[in-house]
Structures are given as structure tokens and as C-alpha cells.
Amino acid sequence: MELNRNHYLTIGLVVLALGIQFRRVESFVLNKEATAFIAKRIKTQRTVTTTFVPSLATDPPPAKRVVKPPKWLGWAMVSGAAVMILYSLVLPKPR
């Protein structure tokens, strides 16, 4: 599929909105489902328990994960979106 003017404009606007969001937000707190999904994919060291009480659950539920995006990421997304939006204005209109 070939991208036309409308596709570039839409992608640019979505990336611009995400870039502004990354500039405004300091950190994201993931819910339990997202944290469990990431915990499955990333092998982390398990904490050693010092108690000898047997538990019914095999794995304790993971704590909520906090994601802190780097400060430059928002600016990079905004500048990339600006290039895509300006490029979409240069392309010919779709037929």
C-alpha cells in the first residue's frame, strides 16, 4: 500500500499528540495487566522470601510498574511530526 497525503498528515497528527503527551507527563503507572504482561516478557530476578510459610499462589502478583520516559523523547516526536505534517502539505492531492 502506498502512503498518500492523507496518511502522512494523519500519522503526523497522531505522533504530534503523543509527543505533546510525553512532554506534559513525567511518568506513567501501568495497571496490573500491563505490568504482568511486561513481567512475562522481561525476565527479572525474583526476590528471595525468608519466610517458610507455604503459600497457595505460585507467584506473587507483581507491583505496579512506573515508566519514566526520557525528556528528549517528547521533543523528538514533536519535531518528527512537524516534518511529516509539512511533507504531507507538499505532496499532491490524492485522486
pLDDT (tens digit per residue) in 39-62: 888 865 555 455 555 555 555 656
Q: What confidence tier does 82 reach under pLDDT thresholds 50, 70, 90?
A: very high
Say what the pTM is: 0.69
**Distance separating alpha carbons of residues 39 and 86, to the nearest angstrom:** 40
Q: C-alpha cell of 75? A: 521533543
Q: Is the pLDDT of residue 34 over 80?
A: yes
Is the pLDDT score of 81 beyond 70? yes
